[in-house]
Chains A and B, each alone.
Chain A
Amino acid sequence: NAGVTQTPKFQVLKTGQSMTLQCAQDMNHNSMYWYRQDPGMGLRLIYYSASEGTTDKGEVPNGYNVSRLNKREFSLRLESAAPSQTSVYFCASFDSGGSREQFFGPGTRLTVL
């Protein structure tokens, strides 16, 4: 039982490049989330998916797209990376039926030059 996994752990991009951050959970949770964390800003919600086949915008969705590929996987895509997207990105899944706890992945540290 790996919990929530994210790939890659680190990434450096040049301005204008694109990339996809991958996230998977093996806990059979319906809800999954993408956050970014910047110094002094806490965690800000980018997009979330309440269930397979649905996605909704969070607080800071501009410049990002998401895909809920199936119940396990939720990916985040940067189509044209900007230096303002330099951040640590966390994926999380939510146990709505049991502990009501949100479980986080280990994070992806992204730098855009």
Chain B
Amino acid sequence: QKEVEQNSGPLSVPEGAIASLNCTYSDRGSQSFFWYRQYSGKSPELIMSIYSNGDKEDGRFTAQLNKASQYVSLLIRDSQPSDSATYLCAVNQGGKLIFGQGTELSVKP
């Protein structure tokens, strides 16, 4: 079992809809969780970090963490074509960031 798992997609949503991206992790001791966005041919860039159970909102992005279920998600409201990218979930395990395989999101105009 991979330590951090994501649905690889592609996930396709219409412009203006809510995109929901999910991630599960295996290490119960993990404390820090991150969502990165990666455009094709570019390096990953951090869009959200979350450390406590519950929701964290930043503009159109909301990260949700449930440590009991070992589950972290990212919601993108009012999705735009510019949101089309691969979204990588990452979990800090003992000072190392372990990444999921990424979910490709496509927002159709």
A contact residues vs B (CB 8 Å cutoff)? 31, 33, 35, 40-45, 48, 50, 58-59, 90, 92, 94, 100-102, 104-107
Contact = CB atoms under 8 A, between A and B. Distances in A.
A62 B80 CA distance: 41
A94 to B, nearest CB: 8
A43 B44 contact: yes
A106 B95 CA distance: 22
Interface of B: 4, 6, 8, 32, 34, 42-46, 49, 88, 90, 95-102
B99 A43 contact: yes
* Interface of chain B: mostly helix, strand, loop or mixed: strand
A31 B95 contact: yes
A40 B96 contact: no
A113 B88 CA distance: 29
Given A101-B49, A102-B46, A107-B43, A50 B102 contact: no
